[in-house]
């Protein structure tokens, strides 16, 4: 999920994505370089913090906009937040999770979850219509046996057969509940890669440091972290004042329609659809070290999404008498037009990546002064902002991070070498900047291809609207490929009115980080900066449930030994120590939210 960055700008080579912690990201002294190259060199580590999840979700990068929020106003920090009424309980909890017995139990709980394969595949029909869904039955049985206190104390509703909706009912119904979310499913393991795994992908093997296996990081660690926290709190006789709801989908890796889609609908029926939850925390990033400072980046929004189906038809025939342009040739020309005309690129002061840069400039202990000055000056200087934008634009990762992207991922046409194809199509995937919209991307694509449709004498239909009339040589149609267009997510408030949940989360992150390192060497403080997810989580179905949605589960990615390993590929593994810290985070968040008077 997280990649360390190093770039050899002096030779003009592209960004080198190497595992974080394997080498120094910045030299002790910066070599003399021309200004543009020097700034690009200094930007090398910034993407580490801005782009949690960099290697997941199709490697799509992301941008977000603080709609109406003045995000460039600095990077003020809140104090660590710890419970007062439940301070003694938190102390007991800390004592418990510090014992060897608890560590062994936590490791066993995650290892056992990994040992139950819950793979999902694209385009699976509804539960009950495909036997592959039945893998979730044994997983539910495992959770029931592993967490008896959760199942005997919380109410459980199974939604669409395999969605899990728990409610831990609080004593004060006037307080908005909190929602903790995760997903039960994992991406499939390619059988041909089994031999490449250090330990078998569904072994749950613990080597003394890591728990190995598919889902150990994404996202059974999050689910088990939440369940372990609640099982332990119940064991310590904690009874919540504020209701806690858990929602665990079962097809997040395949868009979440059956799982979170049904869970979201169920929760709207139960709790209402006018933001009934004080906050939502779903899977997401954690914290990393950048410029000598540890920075946590809870994602406060997500990009939009649109798959565009581009289809050309024209008369067939024998290939020995070809027309001037074949169906595939016409489609090729359209795709070249796409490649030659990317979406406009603009760095906005109101964007989340820009806000993260400002946080790094304000708090990065080792950030070189020249780079710090450029970032700070860009807050009030259009010239500096353009210069920073130009620097970012020269790197493909940053171009993808800041703007709307387009990628031609599928192409198909023709069945025989001597037959002219009557039809050919391609699929263009867009990840939409939150400065844009689905409608704006559709308009861009329509305008982009309209002249070529005229040139090739094609009847052009764009997203259901016929723009040219027959007679014509053939047709061109562009449409939402799967009917899954998704607008950019609303941005969770991080400043001013409505930002109380973000402040509570930030304070919880800080107190968890410090408490987990009490008495140990190394950093004791963490800076919190708003981040963004690269892909789309199950929260796409929860927008009406809360204005404060965060994709964050406090994963420790400092150093090579704690980086996120093998997500969606071979050798996925989760550090046992990182799992324990995650459990501490969820428990502290529950206790802090329980006595908060502001969220």
Give the DSSP per-residue string, 416-480: -TTEE-SEEEEEEEEEE-TTS-HHHHHHHHHHHHHHHHHHTTEEEEETTEE-S-S--SEEEEEEE
Task: Say whether 252 is catalytic.
Answer: yes
Q: What is the residue range of 199's domain?
A: 87-284+546-594
Q: d(Cα 34, Cα 286) in Å, to the nearest integer? A: 35
| Helix-, strand-, coil-residue percentages of the chain, each rounded to 5 | 40, 20, 40
The pLDDT of residue 265 is 98
Among 480, 502, 518, give the residue marking a domain's end.
480
Same domain, 314 and 262: no
The pLDDT of residue 21 is 29
Q: d(Cα 112, Cα 224) in Å, to the nearest integer? A: 10
The pLDDT of residue 353 is 83
Q: Which one, of 197, 202, 199, 198, lies nearest residue 187 by Cα?
A: 202
The pLDDT of residue 561 is 54
Q: d(Cα 80, Cα 411) in Å, to the nearest integer? A: 52
The pLDDT of residue 469 is 81
Q: Which one, of 437, 468, 445, 472, lies nearest residue 456 by Cα?
A: 472
Same domain, 584 and 448: no
Asked if residue 554 lies in contact with residue 295, where contact means CB atoms within 8 angstroms, the answer is: no
Among 446, 463, 480, give the residue marking a domain's end.
480
Q: Is 383 part of a structural domain of the chain?
A: no
Alpha-carbon separation of residue 243 from 179, 206, 535 (angstroms): 9, 35, 29
Residues annotated in a binding site for Zn(2+)? 183, 218, 253, 282, 568
Same domain, 226 and 268: yes
Q: Is 366 part of a structural domain of the chain?
A: no
Q: Is 32 part of a structural domain of the chain?
A: no
Q: Is 507 part of a structural domain of the chain?
A: no
Asked if residue 575 lies in contact with residue 562, where contact means CB atoms within 8 angstroms, the answer is: yes
Alpha carbons within 13 A on the beta-carbon side of 34: 7
Task: Say whether 134 is catalytic.
Answer: no
Same domain, 126 and 185: yes
Tell me the CATH number at 98.
Answer: 3.40.630.10
Same domain, 173 and 210: yes
Same domain, 272 and 308: no
- Residue count of the chain: 599
Q: d(Cα 15, Cα 420) in Å, to the nearest integer? A: 42
Q: How many domains does the chain have?
A: 2
Asked if residue 162 lies in contact with residue 184, where contact means CB atoms within 8 angstroms, the answer is: yes
The pLDDT of residue 562 is 52
Residue 552, helix vs strand vs coil: strand
Per-residue pLDDT of the chain (599 residues; tens, 9 = 90+): 323 333 322 233 332 222 232 222 222 233 334 444 444 444 443 443 343 333 333 333 222 333 334 445 579 999 999 999 999 999 999 999 999 999 999 999 999 999 999 999 988 999 999 999 999 999 999 999 999 999 999 999 999 999 999 999 999 999 999 999 999 999 999 999 999 999 999 999 999 999 999 999 999 999 999 999 999 999 999 999 999 999 999 999 999 999 999 999 999 999 999 999 999 999 998 999 989 999 999 999 899 999 999 999 999 999 999 999 999 999 999 999 999 999 998 999 988 888 988 999 999 999 999 989 999 999 999 999 999 999 888 878 778 878 899 999 999 999 999 999 999 999 999 999 988 999 999 999 999 999 999 999 999 999 999 998 877 899 999 999 999 899 999 999 999 999 999 999 999 999 999 999 998 888 999 999 999 876 789 999 999 999 999 999 999 988 655 555 678 889 999 999 999 999 999 999 999 999 999 99
Same domain, 255 and 317: no
**Phi/psi of residue 161, each to 5°?**
75, -50
Same domain, 132 and 271: yes
Q: Is 374 part of a structural domain of the chain?
A: no
Q: Which of 252, 283, 311, 538 is catalytic?
A: 252
Among 433, 465, 480, give the residue marking a domain's end.
480
Residue 398, helix vs strand vs coil: helix
The pLDDT of residue 557 is 85
Same domain, 222 and 321: no
Alpha-carbon separation of residue 470 from 285, 424, 449, 454, 479 (angstroms): 52, 20, 17, 11, 19
Q: Is 16 part of a structural domain of the chain?
A: no
Tell me the CATH number at 325.
Answer: 3.30.70.360
Helix or strand holding residue 568 (H, E): none
- Tokens encoding 30: 């910066």
Q: Is 526 part of a structural domain of the chain?
A: no
Residues annotated in a binding site? 183, 218, 253, 282, 568
């Amino acid at each position: 999920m997280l990649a360390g960055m190093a770039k050899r700008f002096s030779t003009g080579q592209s960004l080198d994505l190497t595992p974080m912690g394997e080498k120094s990201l910045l030299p002790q002294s910066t070599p003399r370089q021309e200004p543009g190259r020097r700034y690009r060199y200094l930007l090398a580590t910034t993407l580490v913090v801005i782009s949690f999840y960099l290697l997941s979700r199709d490697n799509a990068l992301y941008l977000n906009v603080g709609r109406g929020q003045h995000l460039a106003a600095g990077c003020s920090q809140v104090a660590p937040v710890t419970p007062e009424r439940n301070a003694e309980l938190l102390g007991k909890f800390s004592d418990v999770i510090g014992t060897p017995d608890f560590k062994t139990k936590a490791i066993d709980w995650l290892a056992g979850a990994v040992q139950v394969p819950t793979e999902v595949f694209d385009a699976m029909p509804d539960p009950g219509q495909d036997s592959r869904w039945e893998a979730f039955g044994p997983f539910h049985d495992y959770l029931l046996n592993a967490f008896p206190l959760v199942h005997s104390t919380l109410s459980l509703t199974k939604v669409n057969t395999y969605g899990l909706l728990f409610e831990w009912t609080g004593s004060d119904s006037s307080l908005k509940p909190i929602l903790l979310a995760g997903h039960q499913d994992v991406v499939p393991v390619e059988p041909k890669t089994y031999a490449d795994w250090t330990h078998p992908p569904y072994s749950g093997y613990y080597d003394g440091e890591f728990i190995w296996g598919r889902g150990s990081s994404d996202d059974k660690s999050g689910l088990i972290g939440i369940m372990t926290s609640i099982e332990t709190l119940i064991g310590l006789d904690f009874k919540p004042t504020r209701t806690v709801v858990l929602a665990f989908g079962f097809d997040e890796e395949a868009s979440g329609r059956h799982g979170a889609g049904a869970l979201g609908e169920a929760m709207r029926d139960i709790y209402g659809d006018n933001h009934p939850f004080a906050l939502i925390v779903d899977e997401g990033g954690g914290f990393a070290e950048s410029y000598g400072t540890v920075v946590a980046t809870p994602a406060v929004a997500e990009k939009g999404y649109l798959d565009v189906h581009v289809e050309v038809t024209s008369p067939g025939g024998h290939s020995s008498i070809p027309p001037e342009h074949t169906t595939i040739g016409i489609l090729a020309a359209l795709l070249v037009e796409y490649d030659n005309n990317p979406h406009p690129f603009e760095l906005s002061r109101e964007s989340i990546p820009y806000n993260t840069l400002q946080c790094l400039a304000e708090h990065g202990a080792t950030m070189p002064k020249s780079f710090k000055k450029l970032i700070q000056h860009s807050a009030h200087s259009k010239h500096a902002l353009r210069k920073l934008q130009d620097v970012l634009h020269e790197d493909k990762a940053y171009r993808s991070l800041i703007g709307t992207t387009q990628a031609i991922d599928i192409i198909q046409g023709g069945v025989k070498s001597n037959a002219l194809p009557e039809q050919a199509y391609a699929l263009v995937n867009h990840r939409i900047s939150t400065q844009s919209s689905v409608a704006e991307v559709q308009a861009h694509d329509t305008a982009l291809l309209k002249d070529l449709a005229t040139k090739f004498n094609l009847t052009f239909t764009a997203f259901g609207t016929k723009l040219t009339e027959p007679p014509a040589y053939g047709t061109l149609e562009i449409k939402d490929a799967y009917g899954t267009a998704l607008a950019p997510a609303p941005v969770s408030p991080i400043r001013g009115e409505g930002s109380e949940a973000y402040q509570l989360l930030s304070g919880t992150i800080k107190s968890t980080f410090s408490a987990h390192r009490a008495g140990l060497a190394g950093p004791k403080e963490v800076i919190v900066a708003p981040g963004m997810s690269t892909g789309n989580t199950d929260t796409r179905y929860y927008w009406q449930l809360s204005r404060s949605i965060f994709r964050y589960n406090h994963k420790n990615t400092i150093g090579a030994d704690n980086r996120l390993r093998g997500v969606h590929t071979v050798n996925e593994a989760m550090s046992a120590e990182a799992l324990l810290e995650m459990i501490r985070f969820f428990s502290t968040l529950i206790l802090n939210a329980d006595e908060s008077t502001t969220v």
